[in-house]
Structure 1
Amino acid sequence: MKVVINNINVSIERDQNLELKKEIIKRGIKEENIERIEYSKRSIDSRKKTEIKFVYNIEVTLKKDVDLSTLTNVNLAKEIIEDTLIGKTGVERVAVIGAGPAGLFAALRLCELGIKPIIYERGEKVDDRDKTIDEFIKFSMLNPNSNIQFGEGGAGTYSDGKLNTRVKSGYMNKVFLELVENGAQEQILWDYKPHVGTDVLKVVVKNLREKIIKMGGEFHFNTLIKDIVILDGVVKGLKIQNLKSQILIEETELFDHVVLGIGHSSRDTYRMLHSKGVFMENKPFAIGARIEHPRVDIDTMQYGKMASHPNLEAATYSLTYNNREEERGVFSFCMCPGGVIVNAASQEGGSLVNGMSYSTRDGRFSNSALVVGVKANEFGDELFSGMEYQDRLEKMTYDEVGNYGALYQNTLDFLKDKKTNRKIESSYEMELKSHDLNSLFPKVIADNMKKAMGYWEKTQRNFISEHANLIGPETRTSAPVKITRNELGESINTKGLYPIGEGAGYAGGIISAAIDGFKIIDLAFATAK
């Protein structure tokens, strides 16, 4: 018998396991009847800085059944029963483009349905990708096909590995269990804000690849999709290019089904799809910069005098500001506690930043994107107007620095329209150049960032200070276009094409992308047994 007990508050100063057991016994369960205690959720209540608490939801497996009416605030655990699905008949050759979270989990689901996918990824395997990125950081020589954006694991591999999402889905549990099975920490199954870290994610994606291969999947890295063969609105195949060949050879592979998990930075692929008549539309996105603090400042902002307590990890935050007059949001995004800022360029002659952290989150600095919402068509009425504006900002940055560096400005100076006339300490390893970001961003972006920062300066201790710096630009928060699909996950005007994940405009992070990959495969290729 398994029961659930929710909302157990335990001071961070106490022995967590001992206090949980005391609470279980207090509810009426005898100690000798406890077989196993499992966390189903843990969060932090830091509203009162002198009494920070962990808040637990737990599941308790009992050796013998009990009468629930004799217990206090204890409920029976729900049993999850999943439908048994098999692949639809007649489905044979399926291509998956992209080996990010959406593509990997779509490929895994195809294998589970008995369909053996062929996966194409323009970037390298994660170990080779690691070396390429290290060389880029040291020598500023960009590989436009294998970098922070492209390669095994997608852009999420070089992030904090955050797994929190606002998406509600029956696939959530399956995604988390797969991650743990393939090397992620068990803690992600119950932590309120689960994260894996770049170092662990690299292991997870390699293990996922090996699992898919053992189940019949086939991977082709360093392989670019140059063209999609469409006849009378129906997918017929792909024209692919091997990027490692001394002589670049293009081949055409025949497919009736193409799962498109290209990622939000695949600008060349967006243009190719548009040229072939695949229906796409503009969507909102966001632009801004990274804000970086000494980690101790953020820890103190969130935990007060308890900031250095050994039971507490590096602190996270999530800030929002709503400009009601413009109906525009300003928000923190992809917060990396104890992390680093990295260059996320994927096109020659353009520079931008992103955030990343490791599983320990023990770096000197903490950073987050600080971005302003951009409405669809705000920078022009053409399909790629938003994408082209991102591109212009990135090129302006590259030209200003003179290489793949970044621009910086202290937060106090930004609020005063004043260039920062001193060097700063930062986790960013490439060149940094002082610049008034008010002159880089359009007025609507700079003004809204100022309004939000002015508000947070009053409400969040340490957030705006001489130690807090903006480093930018951050332009690739999400895809600026959507590859529109129908209720079965298929392109609305191209039969056999299934857009998934962030690049298609239907996800916003590792978990939501993985869920989308699972969901669309089931809609398109599964049937009940």
Structure 2
Amino acid sequence: MSKLIDLSFSPEEYMMLPDITDSDEKDLRSSIAKVLRRTSLKPGSDYRIKKKSIDARRKSQLRICFKVELIDKPLDPKHHDFFVHDDSDINYYQKDAFPVVVGFGPAGIFAALYLAQKGMKPIIVERGFEVDQRIVDVLNHQNGKPINPASNIQFGEGGAGTFSDGKLYSGISDSRREIVLSTLIRYGAPREILYLNNPHVGTDRLRTVIPKIREEIIRLGGRFLFGRKLTEVQTENSSIKSIAHVCSISGQDEQRILCSHLILAIGHSARDTFKMLHASGIDMQSKPYAVGLRIEHLQSWINQAQYGPYASHPALGAAEYKLVSHHNLLRSAYTFCMCPGGYVIAASDTPGQVVTNGMSCYRRDAVNSNAAILVGVSSEDFDTDDALAGMYFQEMLEQKAFLLGGSQGYAPVQRVVDFLEGVPSNRCGEVEPSFLPGVTYTNLKELFPDSIYEGLREGIIQMGRKLDGFSHPDAMLTAVETRSSSPVRILRGDNFQSASCKGLYPCGEGAGYAGGIMSSAVDGLKCAEQIIMDISQVIE
């Protein structure tokens, strides 16, 4: 039997807990255990922390809250740490059980790992490079060198999420979330992601976790082909037969892989692959998504707005927010991918475009915070009903942002006060833009159709009424945010296979079935489970 109990502490009480010395919480379990032994924990019983959150509804009486599960018997130590797959009775190793996974972002990572743990030998084809090389290429671009189309924020080991805040919260309630969290912990993520209300890993820690998962897949028999781009999906009788891939840099050295099971986890920015699949007759459709800007504030402003007198308390860390604005006549606006103590980064993958995203390290200790502020777009905004119309709309905005930024890879930026008045900016105020390699002060109204501009403008005004400082005159806007989700959906059935090609499993965010690290990883697990089921039926 078990029961849940609630514990709460003021920030001062929290810092006085045994073993709590700073915000790293190096031995939080020990601290909670000592509290429980004085109150609720009986000899021979055990506990686990289910949730940690901050209740700041009354800022002068802010509380750090825990939900703890008391269990009447000792837990197996592994249940404190991570989920371990039990694959002792499964081994599908055979000559034709080499499923191919294209893309090694969150969906591809967890699909490939699960397949490898179940005895298969997945072949992973990734157009980008390993994390270490990606870091070099991203830094080179931030220092003004030309972007590498094969290795950048979007493409490479870990996908776009490698250079993000590493958020792991999601609206999904799938039980596979525990597998994702516990697996990340097993390979080096902080244990607190199991119970934090809004867990994150941080880009710096993700960069060490992901290579360890790759090494485990290799140990289990998986094979990686980095720097190789998918260029053809060959079918026979409406079933996958083989794929072709080439060197991502030269476009040469075509090679083929025979396969009967292909997980297509390509991510939301693989536009050339979308075009190839569409031309090959793979069923897909345009889907709604959102576009907008990144808004930067001083993190101290957000801390003050959210925590009041406790704004700088070491027990709390950097404050977050999530805002929505509704209007009867204009497009609704919302914030997305808020990065406390982070940076606005250059997220394009092709010369001649400017794209933004947000990124934070684990400690979230940079001077600025940032978030996307977005409005929805749909088929009504596009000039055609083509399945790729939304993708072309993205490209149009990104090319306009490149021109507005001075055609050198700089991002166009504007102070909020000027954006609201529709006049150009010529300087920054208290908030210095963090985008590299540089910025150009301009009028972002020129970037968007009027209906999008008005929706963003009204959204900022309304959000400023909800969160003190959000519409501060010196808050900084950076353009353009277009990659919040995929502009297409590759159609699949209840069996996770393509509606037009048996053996092809559209997967994750790029295929239109997820949004963010957690939901993408869960979708990767679902597709891998389905492949195991399908292959086992063939074996039987």
Query: TM-score, normalized by length of structure 2?
Result: 0.90
In 2, Cα distance between the equivalents of 1:89 and 1:100? 25
* 2:453 corresponds to which of 434, 446, 451: 446
Query: Are 1:34 and 1:61, in contact at CA under 8 Å, matched by a contact in 2?
Result: no
* 2:245 corresponds to which of 216, 240, 245: 240
| CA pair 24-376 structure 1, distance change in 2 beyond 3 A | farther
Matched, 1:365 2:358: no
CA-CA distance at 1:324 after TM superposition: 3.9
For 1:430, the equivalent position in structure 2 comes to 437
In 1, Cα distance between the equivalents of 2:291 and 2:90? 42
In 2, Cα distance between the equivalents of 1:28 and 1:189? 22
* 1:389 corresponds to which of 376, 387, 393: 393
In 2, Cα distance between the equivalents of 1:231 and 1:223? 23
| CA pair 475-213 structure 1, distance change in 2 beyond 3 A | same
For 2:229, the equivalent position in structure 1 comes to 224
| CA pair 435-37 structure 1, distance change in 2 beyond 3 A | same
Q: Secondary structure at the match of 1:43?
A: strand
For 2:59, the equivalent position in structure 1 comes to 49
- Number of matched pairs: 511
In 2, Cα distance between the equivalents of 1:416 and 1:296? 26
In 2, Cα distance between the equivalents of 1:183 and 1:89? 29
Matched, 1:313 2:317: yes
| CA pair 86-441 structure 1, distance change in 2 beyond 3 A | farther
CA-CA distance at 1:22 after TM superposition: 8.1
User: 137-146 vs 201-210, which deviates more?
Assistant: 137-146
User: 357-366 vs 450-459, which deviates more?
Assistant: 450-459
CA-CA distance at 1:83 after TM superposition: 8.9
CA-CA distance at 1:375 after TM superposition: 2.3
For 1:159, the equivalent position in structure 2 comes to 164
User: 512-521 vs 462-471, which deviates more?
Assistant: 462-471
In 1, Cα distance between the equivalents of 2:130 and 2:340? 27
Q: How does 1:314-393 map to 2 (within 5 A)?
A: 314-325=318-329, 328-380=331-383, 381-393=385-397
In 2, Cα distance between the equivalents of 1:133 and 1:26? 51
For 1:68, the equivalent position in structure 2 comes to none
Q: How does 1:48-127 map to 2 (within 5 A)?
A: 48-62=58-72, 86=90, 92-127=97-132
RMSD: 2.4
CA-CA distance at 1:108 after TM superposition: 0.8
Query: TM-score, normalized by length of structure 1?
Result: 0.91
In 2, Cα distance between the equivalents of 1:229 and 1:21? 58
* 1:175 corresponds to which of 176, 180, 199: 180
In 1, Cα distance between the equivalents of 2:235 and 2:327? 44
Query: Are 1:8 and 1:20, in contact at CA under 8 Å, matched by a contact in 2?
Result: no
For 1:250, the equivalent position in structure 2 comes to 254
Aligned-partner residue type, residue 120 of structure 1: V
Aligned-partner residue type, residue 51 of structure 1: Q
| CA pair 283-205 structure 1, distance change in 2 beyond 3 A | same
* 2:218 corresponds to which of 191, 205, 213: 213
In 1, Cα distance between the equivalents of 2:439 and 2:205? 29
Q: Secondary structure at the match of 2:471?
A: coil
In 1, Cα distance between the equivalents of 2:85 and 2:204? 32
Q: Secondary structure at the match of 1:383?
A: coil
Aligned-partner residue type, residue 49 of structure 2: Y
Aligned-partner residue type, residue 402 of structure 2: Y
In 1, Cα distance between the equivalents of 2:530 and 2:256? 27
User: 280-289 vs 316-325, which deviates more?
Assistant: 316-325
CA-CA distance at 1:398 after TM superposition: 1.3
CA-CA distance at 1:351 after TM superposition: 0.9
| CA pair 453-29 structure 1, distance change in 2 beyond 3 A | same
In 2, Cα distance between the equivalents of 1:512 and 1:521? 14
CA-CA distance at 1:242 after TM superposition: 2.3
Matched, 1:474 2:464: no
| CA pair 502-64 structure 1, distance change in 2 beyond 3 A | closer
Query: Are 1:230 and 1:276, in contact at CA under 8 Å, matched by a contact in 2?
Result: no
In 2, Cα distance between the equivalents of 1:167 and 1:320? 19
Query: Are 1:418 and 1:436, in contact at CA under 8 Å, matched by a contact in 2?
Result: yes
Query: Are 1:126 and 1:202, in contact at CA under 8 Å, matched by a contact in 2?
Result: yes
CA-CA distance at 1:466 after TM superposition: 2.4
In 2, Cα distance between the equivalents of 1:28 and 1:113? 41
In 2, Cα distance between the equivalents of 1:265 and 1:24? 49
In 2, Cα distance between the equivalents of 1:518 and 1:64? 30
For 2:12, the equivalent position in structure 1 comes to 13
For 2:22, the equivalent position in structure 1 comes to none
| CA pair 154-64 structure 1, distance change in 2 beyond 3 A | closer
Deviations along 1:55-83, one digit per CA (max 9) or x if unpaired, are 21113355689xxxxxxxxxxx9xx9999
CA-CA distance at 1:265 after TM superposition: 0.3
Deviations along 1:185-231, one digit per CA (max 9) or x if unpaired, are 11111111101000100111100000100111000100111111122
In 2, Cα distance between the equivalents of 1:15 and 1:191? 15
In 1, Cα distance between the equivalents of 2:410 and 2:7? 48
Query: Are 1:282 and 1:377, in contact at CA under 8 Å, matched by a contact in 2?
Result: no
In 1, Cα distance between the equivalents of 2:179 and 2:149? 34
| CA pair 518-390 structure 1, distance change in 2 beyond 3 A | same
Structure 1: stretches of 5+ with no match in the other structure: 66-76
